[in-house]
Structure 1
């Protein structure tokens, strides 16, 4: 973090002049000027993403510095924090005009070179000593993302050493439909519906062979469910949607399947938080294979390595050479990250997969995710396309052949079960812990209602009432407008109109004059922060190590401050850390007996990590999806865990928190029905935000009628 540089001032200035000079000195005026320039440009439809990110990063640093500065009075601190809040508000309003800017605010967003250069310039202009890492020479980055692509020297050398990467069709299976019964039918929607409307008890796992003996490094063993996948790869199966519940060892299965299939060089696309862990897993399970990890522009990578690990955030720089490097296999970890096909990272992953298949028709392609369905059955689309099962809006040749062999069309009653099985047979592998790892102790989710102080509760309830009143006013206006256009009258509450009003509110949330649902929920999270941290501290004293999860930086900061004030050792895992620092903190939590609590970001630490050294999880803030909550808990509830796992959800009593918890639980039934054969009714696939506001508005309208 930048350090403040003291400046000596002159004498003989009037008191008012001194106050104005102080107000106009330092980093805050520089940030205020920069954010006003951003706002003005955004109003003209011009977006400066680098400056936006630079301002956001410096605001985050300055807020942390002010909170930690013991040399200023409480009044001065409050004044500076209010000024920062004003700057942050303008940033939010600017992002509302260009939603893609929100991605730059994510905790795990990688800062561009241009943003870091602008951040340094602002620090100098504000009288701060620049961050040491910003002093390192950097190449100005002002080109478009598509022009940022690089070819590391080691890669160029590897390609020169083997320049004749001709297409390999020797292993190809020409899967062409032999019939044309399904020509002209729209098939993707029926295929998706076959999972959404699966019959109770219907499984979602391909037929796997009995496990064959495999050569493993000494002292390592595979569980039977892991060995079956590796045997399938050895016998020639080449596409897998490995959707085992989190904690069942998907990384080891992928690495050993690649070894069984001799799928080298192998490309592994993973979240940034687990890059180091993937390299360690390679050394553990396949020590005879070399691995290289791409950071930034990749100057340090080994172009001759058997396994290349790259994170989603830097994939755009390397997609050019990766697509032509001759990979014989590709693994996408946490594959639900690519569910939005319009996102840049999804497009890069799909492009690379297509290029690999063009050269090698049957490469090993593996999508790993314990939570393939986040909000909607459509989340399958991008994953299926990555695996080559579908081609955008139609089945691929292999799937089309299988569908033709059913002898049915979507008009036939038996088509959907048969189509579902055809997709599963292509390589869906879904096992539950209760079925294949019964020795893993049980887990439970325990809701812990907490009473906020009277003033805070009153303030939050007032914000909820204001939000409900705004929704009611929108609803009344819509009813009045409809009455002017037609004579249609709906007795009681028009639930269809309620949902339309709520969708409109969510769409306009950032432009609303009052607090929106996201602001209210974030305020609740801040209010619970110290209570949640206090409970985590009690658990740590009585039950051993604890993992504490939160969504927002300020909640993590509040928890860290409380733990530090009580002398409790903790490690922080968050998105604004370098990979090395993040891994150092993870190792400290796992190995250091004096580090009792891991304070983790749901975004940056909720996937891929193994934190089974703890058996208690505290969820300080509620997620908007059941999948995110499940992923967080399963950092602890996984193979190797010897203690029963309890996830403690901290819920603010008498607030919308309780409704959100209820909706998250209802959301779980989507994956249960589609993949696990549960007979539960599927909850609405609409977002939890939508359902929470529908409940708020419906309750307000009902109260008015009472």
Structure 2
């Protein structure tokens, strides 16, 4: 029944007819699949029968996951924090009853949703946050030092000011400054071994000098994350709340560890079971903010950073209301908190997009400028009826903390080409399935290693022992696995696993490319597999992002037409390219941002792809964003490519070192998987002997 139903959903997704009824069926099947897997694991019977049943269920789960990739609405239903609809629970019960199974009262009904009244938000408080509140009464935030606002007469109190303030940015003359005056850069808060660019050091110096609100609107690739983290350090704005899109949540945690290594960072996942309530930096994504806004408001934050702040431009959206509520609570309880809005695209549709960001920063409220801005406007001596008011008003807003630098403005400060990794977490059934496949690969190779070790001659000369592991056997096993994978027509292996990882990353990578396209202009999007390109193109189409497609199966005429469309049509924002078909011989220098949705096997192939944009005639520094699946073999391959890159550079500089081939990275990746598995088993005391 599960298999038949999931195939029906798959067929609907293929036809592009994913209705609400299809989504309900999809979620009901996912619920039943989860319940059935738990039942089979707990059931009595032979191990062989149980394994066969689980294998069949995994096959259905795979179809479910690959179907979800075709539709963002379906993919969201597989998330750990997805809300189960009443319709899906009802349908799941109907299916069970049709099969002659009477569901138990608690079945298909998670406890937290079963008791929640209809139409109310589900709020949670992580246990470690409760522990923090109870552990030490001195950790309770002290709000007594917050200065009380006193109303004072204002010269402009009778004027309508928000309209003129917003229009002052529309009326700005060419060459008008879009950045507050910044002090001399400082490196005082930069950790040892790290180096800030001068433009980054300027913002940190401003925070150190006492400035506390920033609309940091630097173009992508200019290091806004590092600036925000070190500004918090300079302002001692801890605990610090960081609100981000889901796709960059992992990267924020990694960057916090790099730039403020002495500060503990915690990431809020789902209901927050793993939250560290004693952390200095709390990172939460917009999508789960609703259930955590309660305890976040009482946590006592002294600083707040909102990344991709254009996400809150729609003030009526729930995410915007939660961000504004948290900001208002922090400002009402903390004397001069640090508030930062980070976005390369503060304006997407029109000048009104500024409103919510300014309100979050405490510059305005619903109807008027607040104290600091009002005082600055008063000091100009002008009114909206005066000729010079708009220029003066615009400067007043900029001086509150607008910081905007373009790549071309700071070209001397940054490298002409750089590669930045964006780690992403693969959650839900897709992520679990991929990690299970990787464990199966490790177990398969471990079994081969143990067999080879058992048959090794007792008097054999062993040269490659590393911590009790025979590296010679490890490499032979890895080569054998690689050879079988290269010739396999079906089954799970390292290549199929990476293809599945690419599919799982496709929508996240497409979302990030769409953000870049809106904020920085044209983007080149590279993928290795056709189905990954298909998934990305479907995501762009849903978001209304126009794209051209450059593939290996196109005729030369069609290929050139797609290239010309990307280069010549300002409305075509993204070029979706095959790593193999578009990695060479294509000039895409109209783009300065490249997204690598799937990793290359060699640094040379990666460089060739990036060089479609980074080439003679390019006027802006090029940034390549590699989307890396954290805690999978994908991350290991990224590290290996980096290590091989140094060798390739030396070879190009005249070294005798040969440039690494793709087979080297493939082999080393499998060697690393097997070695890690053997060392893990060695740590449990059951590793094979040397």
TM range (shorter): 0.5 to 0.7
Q: Could you tell me which residue of structure 1 aligns to residue 169 of structure 2?
A: 195
Question: Per-residue CA shift, 1:452-486, capped at 9, x if unaligned?
Answer: xxxxxxxxxxxxxxxxxxxxxxxxxxxxxxxxxxx
Cα 1:311–1:414 shift into 2, 3 Å: same
Contact 2:244 2:285 survives alignment (8 Å): yes
Question: Per-residue CA shift, 1:117-139, capped at 9, x if unaligned?
Answer: 56865776798x9xxxx999932
Contact 2:266 2:276 survives alignment (8 Å): yes
Q: 1:141 aligns with which of 113, 118, 121?
A: 113
1:285-364 to 2 correspondences below 5 Å: 285-364=259-338
Q: Could you tell me which residue of structure 2 aligns to residue 535 of structure 1?
A: none
Q: Could you tell me which residue of structure 2 aligns to residue 606 of structure 1?
A: 513
| Residues in 1 aligned to 2:223 and 2:244: alpha-carbon distance in whole angstroms | 15
Contact 1:246 1:370 survives alignment (8 Å): yes
> Do structure 1's residue 237 and structure 2's residue 236 form an aligned pair?
no
Question: Per-residue CA shift, 1:465-520, capped at 9, x if unaligned?
Answer: xxxxxxxxxxxxxxxxxxxxxxxxxxxxxxxxxxxxxxxxxxxxxxxxxxxxxxxx
> Do structure 1's residue 441 and structure 2's residue 440 form an aligned pair?
no
| Residues in 2 aligned to 1:299 and 1:573: alpha-carbon distance in whole angstroms | 16
| Residues in 2 aligned to 1:254 and 1:572: alpha-carbon distance in whole angstroms | 21
Q: Could you tell me which residue of structure 2 aligns to residue 641 of structure 1?
A: none
Contact 1:56 1:105 survives alignment (8 Å): no
Q: 2:405 aligns with which of 431, 445, 455?
A: 431
TM-score (norm 2): 0.53
Q: 1:617 aligns with which of 498, 507, 525?
A: 525
Residue 180 of structure 1 deviates from its aligned partner by 2.4
| Residues in 1 aligned to 2:502 and 2:200: alpha-carbon distance in whole angstroms | 32
CA RMSD of aligned residues (A): 5.4
Cα 1:441–1:623 shift into 2, 3 Å: farther
Q: Could you tell me which residue of structure 2 aligns to residue 401 of structure 1?
A: 375
Residue 426 of structure 1 deviates from its aligned partner by 0.5
Residue 216 of structure 1 deviates from its aligned partner by 3.1
Contact 2:310 2:343 survives alignment (8 Å): yes
Residue 57 of structure 1 deviates from its aligned partner by 5.1
Query: Helix, strand or coil: the match of 1:4?
Result: helix
Cα 1:141–1:319 shift into 2, 3 Å: same
Residue 578 of structure 1 deviates from its aligned partner by 7.0
Query: Helix, strand or coil: the match of 1:336?
Result: helix
Query: Helix, strand or coil: the match of 2:287?
Result: helix
Q: 1:280 aligns with which of 254, 257, 279?
A: 254
Cα 1:158–1:574 shift into 2, 3 Å: closer
Contact 1:27 1:122 survives alignment (8 Å): no
| Residues in 1 aligned to 2:569 and 2:23: alpha-carbon distance in whole angstroms | 34
Contact 2:309 2:357 survives alignment (8 Å): yes
Gaps of 5+ in 1: 6-24, 33-37, 40-48, 63-79, 93-101, 444-543, 548-570, 610-614, 633-647, 669-706
Residue 391 of structure 1 deviates from its aligned partner by 0.9
Cα 1:578–1:215 shift into 2, 3 Å: farther
> Do structure 1's residue 112 and structure 2's residue 20 form an aligned pair?
no
Query: Helix, strand or coil: the match of 2:113?
Result: coil
Contact 1:374 1:627 survives alignment (8 Å): no
| Residues in 2 aligned to 1:147 and 1:594: alpha-carbon distance in whole angstroms | 35
Q: Could you tell me which residue of structure 1 aligns to residue 353 of structure 2?
A: 379
Query: Helix, strand or coil: the match of 1:141?
Result: helix
Residue 575 of structure 1 deviates from its aligned partner by 9.4
Contact 1:26 1:126 survives alignment (8 Å): no
Query: Helix, strand or coil: the match of 1:244?
Result: coil
1:493-532 to 2 correspondences below 5 Å: none
Question: Per-residue CA shift, 1:628-669, capped at 9, x if unaligned?
Answer: 799x9xxxxxxxxxxxxxxx994898x9x96954999xxx9x
> Do structure 1's residue 248 and structure 2's residue 222 form an aligned pair?
yes
Query: Helix, strand or coil: the match of 1:310?
Result: strand
Contact 1:271 1:334 survives alignment (8 Å): yes
> Do structure 1's residue 217 and structure 2's residue 191 form an aligned pair?
yes
Cα 1:148–1:261 shift into 2, 3 Å: same
Cα 1:577–1:373 shift into 2, 3 Å: farther
| Residues in 2 aligned to 1:442 and 1:61: alpha-carbon distance in whole angstroms | 47
TM-score (norm 1): 0.52
Residue 234 of structure 1 deviates from its aligned partner by 1.1
Ranked by relative contact order (alpha carbons within 8 Å, sequence separation 6 or more), the top structure is: 1
Query: Helix, strand or coil: the match of 1:391?
Result: coil
> Do structure 1's residue 208 and structure 2's residue 182 form an aligned pair?
yes
| Residues in 2 aligned to 1:389 and 1:629: alpha-carbon distance in whole angstroms | 36
Cα 1:322–1:103 shift into 2, 3 Å: farther
Residue 185 of structure 1 deviates from its aligned partner by 1.0
Cα 1:183–1:278 shift into 2, 3 Å: same
Query: Helix, strand or coil: the match of 1:267?
Result: strand
> Do structure 1's residue 4 and structure 2's residue 3 form an aligned pair?
yes
1:121-140 to 2 correspondences below 5 Å: 138-140=110-112
Residue 157 of structure 1 deviates from its aligned partner by 1.6
Contact 1:252 1:285 survives alignment (8 Å): yes
Cα 1:308–1:108 shift into 2, 3 Å: farther
Cα 1:276–1:374 shift into 2, 3 Å: same
Q: 2:24 aligns with which of 38, 41, 54?
A: 54
Query: Helix, strand or coil: the match of 1:606?
Result: helix
| Residues in 2 aligned to 1:545 and 1:327: alpha-carbon distance in whole angstroms | 30
Gaps of 5+ in 2: 13-17, 33-62, 438-493, 517-522, 527-535, 549-559, 576-589, 591-690
Residue 103 of structure 1 deviates from its aligned partner by 7.8
Q: Could you tell me which residue of structure 2 aligns to residue 161 of structure 1?
A: 135
